[in-house]
Amino acid sequence: MSFPDRPLTAMIDVAAGPPDCMAYERAGGWEAVRRALKNLTPAEVVDTVTRSKLRGRGGAGFGTGQKWSFVPKEPASERRKYLIANADEMEPGTFKDRLLLEGNPLQLVEGMILAAYAIQAGHGIIFLRGEYHLACKRLDQAIAEARHEGWLGENILGSGFSFDIHVHSSAGRYICGEETALLTALEGRRATPRSKPPFPQTGGLWGTPSVVNNVETLCNLPHIITNGPEWFLALGTGTDGGTKLYGVSGRVCRPGTWELPIGTSLREIIEDHAGGMLPGYGLRALLPGGASTAFLDVTALDVAMDYGSVEKAGSRLGTGMAIILDDRTCPVGMIHNLEHFFAQESCGWCTPCRDGLPWVERLLMAIEAGTGEEEDLEQLDRHARMLGTPGRTFCAHAPGAMAPLASGLKLFREDFAEHITQHGCPLQHAARSLERGRDDQHSY
């Protein structure tokens, strides 16, 4: 498609709205489906995606082709299989998939056809965040157009392969971002994660082989099949291939989302694309990949935003959507806000998560309110260690919740201590003192 160095967002014009089927085809759309269904076997599609080194863009970063390779190889006509697009974008600070869903939904449709052909799934579901009303409307329209033009339905392009897509608007809950909880919710039950094995690739939705892929991951597929894995690899700056949607929220001049080569540095993303900090504010730290990643301080600005580099720096790439902590925002208050979210979004299945996260929230609330004690920091350290260790809880929700807390306790220890010794937030005390000074001036 146009602008091969920015394949995901090349056709997105927020003001004009998404392209229809004809405009999409004129720009090179559907070429990948034609090529795959007419010239490639499902195994060859899997091999192409594997060689591109496309990794899941939803946060975990698992190899996409490797994930597909675990699915049983029977044709779609012989065994029911499902492909699910995870569009339940509820990670705080993350809004990249909404851009793709609203800006070019046909790109997702084409990506799902390719993924379904690769794993031989006859049924596709888009599990959509319930609040994404505009995305839902545009997806329904795109699917209807694709079905009318013969890109979805029975015997696509005379290939013998049949596939259709249904949009499911979620009832909510952040835990649905965990793929097995998503599958449980689709079955009409409470969204709780499942024990593994069996893994979804062999026993997923209603016990059938199922693959769950993130929206951004699926949108890369048409470009990989059209241009080849070598082209995709060359777009990245390091060992990871392709581009990545990066975003910044917080007190910067231009908060937003940009498609950049994967491996672009934090400094370039924040200073060049987000325009740097607002006047009067300084950068103190940031969460590089959404709310469930560990804080990095200003010494990490030159870290490449790829999976390996961010992990070496002590955090995770996650969704690639950075949340800024400025020097006039209380880090304790920010962490308390995050832990409140994680506590209320726990599915409540396992005891450490169900009881531990609310206890962490109460401790932070007390420290913020000025009633905290020194022993509370020891309790927070213990919870961060116990809940943050993978394998001690049923899923990754609690370890993700502990990432900002554990790193925050290290980076902002003095702030926590000052909250206890000064019986409240020093920044709030300073603000109240300033306000009293202004009132005294007005009284004369």
φ, ψ dihedrals at 438, nearest 5°:
-65, -40
pLDDT in tens, 290-317: 999 999 999 999 999 999 999 999 999 9
Q: What is the DSSP string of 368-385?
A: HHT---HHHHHHHHHHHH
Q: Which CA distances in Å does 81 have to 76, 164, 242, 258, 340?
A: 7, 12, 28, 34, 38
Position 3 scores a pLDDT of 53
Determine which helix (DSSP H) or strand (DSSP E) holds 364, and give its type and residue range. helix 351-369
The answer to whether the beta carbons of residues 118 and 48 sit under 8 Å apart is no
Phi, psi of 404 (to 5 degrees): -70, -30
All domains of the chain in start order, with CATH? 21-235 (3.40.50.11540), 243-326 (3.10.20.600), 331-429 (1.20.1440.230)
pLDDT of residue 1: 47
Give the position of tokens 């949607």.
245
**Quick one: CA dihedral 65, 67, 72, 75, positive or negative?**
negative
Tell me if 166 sits within 8 A of 205, measured CB to CB.
Answer: no
The answer to whether 345 touches 442, Cβ cutoff 8 Å, is no
pTM (2 d.p.): 0.93
If one counts every other C-beta atom within 10 angstroms of the C-beta of residue 168, the result is 18
| pLDDT of res. 390 | 87
pLDDT at 366: 96
Pairwise CA distance, residues 260 & 266, whole Å: 11
The size of the chain, in residues, is 444
Cα 306 to Cα 73, 172, 287, 370, distances in angstroms: 32, 30, 14, 40
Distances in whole angstroms, Cα of residue 389 to Cα of each of 214, 221, 399 = 25, 34, 6
Let me know the angle formed at the C-alpha of 347 by 342 and 352, rounded to the nearest 5 degrees: 75
pLDDT of res. 370: 92
Amino acid present at 258: W
353 in Cβ contact with 193 (< 8 Å): no
Which two tokens mark 21? 């089927």
**pLDDT at residue 13, as a whole number:** 87
Helices (H) and strands (E) in the chain, counts: 19, 9
Task: Return the residue matching tokens 């993130």.
Answer: 214
CA–CA distance, 292 with 339 (Å, rounded to integer): 10
List all residues 6 or more positions away from 345 whose beta carbon is below 8 Å from its beta carbon.
90, 173, 174, 175, 397
Spatial separation of the C-alpha atoms in residues 28 and 26, rounded to whole Å:
5
Q: How far apart are CA 168 and CA 21, in angstroms?
A: 22
Segments of the chain scoring below 50 in pLDDT: 1-2, 434, 438-444
Radius of gyration of the chain (CA): 23
